[in-house]
Chain A
Amino acid sequence: KNEVEQSPQNLTAQEGEFITINCSYSVGISALHWLQQHPGGGIVSLFMLSSGKKKHGRLIATINIQEKHSSLHITASHPRDSAVYICAVYSSLKLTFGTGTRLTIIP
């Protein structure tokens, strides 16, 4: 079993829909990152959080340390949000990544 599990693996939605991507982890962490990877390999850090909730534009990330669970929400989704979203946990001085969620937003 991977230390970081994401669900769903693939998600297709219509433009405008509310999107939720989940991340569960099994190790103690000091922080959790949500990353976005577009085709071609570029990875961008979206959020780093260790408690509560963060919001940036249409993106919202929440974390529940007790339940070892985090969610990434996208409101009013748009085709340009289509990408792979990766959860990564910071533990023992290194980042461990989930396998990612491939999101496709259809116009």
Chain B
Amino acid sequence: DTGVSQNPRHKITKRGQNVTFRCDPISEHNRLYWYRQTLGQGPEFLTYFQNEAQLEKSRLLSDRFSAERPKGSFSTLEIQRTEQGDSAMYLCASSLGVGEEEKLFFGSGTQLSVL
């Protein structure tokens, strides 16, 4: 499978626990995005990497959220001290090119449920 891979597909955790999600982008893609989607809403931008550099982080993202992309390959998104409001689908996308030439591919997401 050469698409964008996200693990795990589902995560159930108790409030206050830490969780970490992983995204493996398509290998030659230099951009990697994290989004969050709640029921009935479009995806919300969380953060974005160009290679290993984190270029932007949404103001929506509290200090409990951190993302890394070591060596510009896979990326991890960690949420510390989870809250029930963190329950959502976390989507990763990777892309190559810019503007109209940007080819964007999404992973299937990680569904987080915080109890």
Contact = CB atoms under 8 A, between A and B. Distances in A.
Identify whether the interface residues of B are mostly helix, strand, loop, or mixed.
Answer: strand
A42 B41 CA distance: 14
A48 B42 contact: no
B85 interface: no
B48 A45 contact: no
A25 interface: no
B6 to A, nearest CB: 10
A44 interface: yes
The size class of the interface chain B forms with chain A is: 20 to 34
Contacts of A95: 33, 45, 104
Interface stretch (B17-25, B61-69, B75-83, B105-113): B105-113
A97 B40 CA distance: 13
B103 A98 contact: no
